[in-house]
Amino acid sequence: AKKHSSYIVMITMIPSASSLTTALQTVAVGVVIYFWMRRRSKPNEAKPLHVDYGEATTFPFPMQVIASLPEWIRIPLMVKGSKPSLPRDGIDVLGQDSECDPYEKSVILPGKIWSVRYSYFSSPELKNAMKSLFGSNNAAAITNAPDHLKETLEKDIIVAEKYEALSEKERAELGGDMKQDMFIAKINIDGDENALLIYNPVRLHPQMMEYINSLGHVKFIVSGSSSHTNCLPDAAKQFPNAKIICASAADLKCQGVGMRAADFLYDVVRDEVPARYSGRGTYEDALEALQGQVRLFHIRGDVCTQALFVLVHKHLFEVDLLYAPTDEKLSGKDFETGNSIQHSTQRIFFYSLITRKAHPIGYLAPKYRCLMMDPTSLLASKLMIDAPKSDGSSSIDMAASLRYVIKELCQDGVCDQVLSAHSVAMSRACFCQRMDDTWGWLDGMSCLNYDNQ
């Protein structure tokens, strides 16, 4: 089994504190407007989330100021504060001529599907944003860990602290502390049997460009999450003739750094095209362009990531909805015994946020995913580009979408394996069960209860 990747979700929908501060400098009257809006504010009439996910989160003052602004000011500031930027990796530090190779390439289905695991450095801005919102989880990790691992977690925390104190060169020599996967599928488009679809693009150094070009011609670039946008503009630049498929929020952020407009917005359907997207390619248009070679499953209601699953050659590509792939313990025989910085990071994140003991309602998802579905929370209602519906129905929509996907996958001969950008390859049955373990709280019914869907 492949080594499990780092589980810190790249919630780039949430600008870092430093980005927000910079953005606020462009609005000289921000603080004045804040207090003016407070005087004029009305009680929040949104419907609270139907589950109790723990104590409320206190937000830094700059975020409170942003949240108080009118939408026509607030959304541009949110876009500016969450603009994509390429991650740094070992090549940036050690040089292109070094022996550093941030890519681990694998053949999934000979001649048809490949995966590329990319190692890079976690963003200091993201770490600061997470810490400012949710604080340190080190103590919780030790508390939630099983007795035989408590001492290991104590050592992990020391390892993580020492890693932060290392120079960038020393960290580069260790290979970086974050990993995620890109998937490449060969399909037949207009008679071209060497057409390629890239899902969840990672940073493309010259050696990766050479590898991809050796496989075929990139015709489609698919961003499976509106929170995974850091490498999308670069991929669009590297493959200028490829069609871009992404969510409207991802398109908005990426155009802010000069990316050409996406060809297809998968969260926009023909019957409900907002005026601002008139003339743009929709979900149905994307399906037609793929000529039946690929199926797309947009998870409606997932306002945090607008997740898109891709089914090709009986393999499902997934990103940002799965946190524990096999059982409550992370997959991988060396999860408990591995001594790399990646292993330490995985164990701390898992036992502080993902294990059932860490979640107030007992599911395999971090608390912040509940927070992002709650219409009454400041984060969800005012600090994300896509906000949940005020009546609380976004969670119902998401549950229905997941049940539809699971029902389709469970048909005979549809799906043999699931590949997750933050996880490991798993069977269809395992994936469906873990999706229920992670998201079964959305409307109070099991995601596996799809017969009446």
Q: What angle do CA 150, 151, 152 make, to 5 degrees?
A: 90
Neighbouring residues of 31: CB distance < 8 A, sequence distance ≥ 6: 65
- Residue range 370-386, pLDDT digits in tens: 889 999 988 888 888 99
Minimal CA–CA distance to 370: which of 303, 294, 428, 315?
303
Query: How many CB atoms lie under 10 A from the CB of residue 122?
Result: 19
3 state DSSP class of 28: coil
Mean pLDDT over residues 257-273, rounded?
A: 95
Residues 366, 368, 370, 373, CA torsion sign: negative
Scanning the structure block, which residue is given the tokens 């681990």? 104
Question: What angle do the packed helices 30-40 and 61-68 form, to 10 degrees?
Answer: 60
By CB neighbour count within 10 A (0-12 exposed, 13-18 middle, 19+ buried), where does 269 fall? middle
- In the predicted model, is pLDDT for residue 339 greater than 50? yes
Scanning the structure block, which residue is given the tokens 């609380």? 392
Q: Given this model, what pLDDT does residue 35 score?
A: 54
Q: Given this model, what pLDDT does residue 342 score?
A: 78
For residue 99, give Cα distances in angstroms to 92, 103, 175: 12, 12, 11
For residue 197, give Cα distances in angstroms to 193, 248, 408, 409, 434: 12, 19, 22, 21, 26
Report the b/e string of 353-377 with b at 16+ CB within 10 A: bbbeebbeeebbbbbbbbbbbbbbb
3 state DSSP class of 133: helix
Q: What DSSP string describes 296-323?
A: EEE-TT-TTT--EEEEETTEEEE-SS-S
Q: Which of 38-42, 202-206, 297-301, 397-401 has the lowest mean pLDDT?
A: 38-42
Residue with the larger pLDDT of the pair 408 and 378:
408
First-to-last C-alpha distance (Å) of the chain: 34
Q: Given this model, what pLDDT does residue 453 score?
A: 56
**196, two tokens:** 């390629």
Q: Given this model, what pLDDT does residue 5 score?
A: 37
- Residue range 78-131, pLDDT digits in tens: 888 888 999 999 999 999 888 889 999 999 999 999 999 999 988 777 767 666
Give 184's strand partners.
114, 198
Q: Is the Cβ–Cβ distance between 138 and 344 less than 8 Å?
A: no
Question: What angle do the packed helices 61-68 and 71-81 form, to 10 degrees?
Answer: 140
The pTM of this model reads 0.87
The rounded mean pLDDT for the chain is 85
- Residue range 154-188, pLDDT digits in tens: 999 999 888 888 888 888 888 778 889 999 999 99
The beta strand positions in 202-293, using DSSP E, are 217-222, 243-246, 264-265
Q: Given this model, what pLDDT does residue 184 score?
A: 98
Give 244's strand partners.
221
Q: 267: alpha, beta or left, given left = phi > 0 and alpha = psi -120 to 50?
A: alpha
